[in-house]
Amino acid sequence: MTIRSAVFWVAAACCVCAELAILRSLLFGRAREAEALDSMGASRTAHASRPADIVWAILPAVGLGLVLYLTWRAVELPREPAADVSHVGATIGA
């Protein structure tokens, strides 16, 4: 494993943990308690519906997955060997 792929996998793991934390807080966190209070009439602020909140939490996760995939392709792209300029046959100053 190269350092590039190790850094990629650490970053990917951090992104997955962050997205899971966002979804967990949305589904099981204090938002549920606030929603329950709002349904009882305790708060009259306008807010988005729960399905819309879930969609807006999943859309960035899908976009992040696409970015991670494209980054992985770039990390694992085989490197082209350096050009060998000793056999070009060009002369300098002639």
Residue pLDDT, tens place only, 79-91: 776 666 666 565 6
- Tell how far CA 47 is from the center of its chain: 26
Give the integer Cα–Cα distance in Å for 55 and 44. Answer: 23
In contact, 32 and 50? CB cutoff 8 Å: no
Q: Report the predicted TM-score, pTM, of the whole model to 2 decimal places.
A: 0.59
Interval 8-13 mean pLDDT: 92
Confidence at residue 74, expressed as pLDDT on a 0 to 100 scale: 87
Question: CA-CA distance, 90 to 27, in Å (whole number)?
Answer: 67
Q: What is the pLDDT of residues 13-43, one digit of tens each?
A: 999 999 999 888 888 876 666 666 766 665 5
- What is the pLDDT at residue 18? 92
| Domain residue limits, the chain | 3-75
pLDDT tens, 47-74?
567 788 888 888 988 999 999 999 988 8
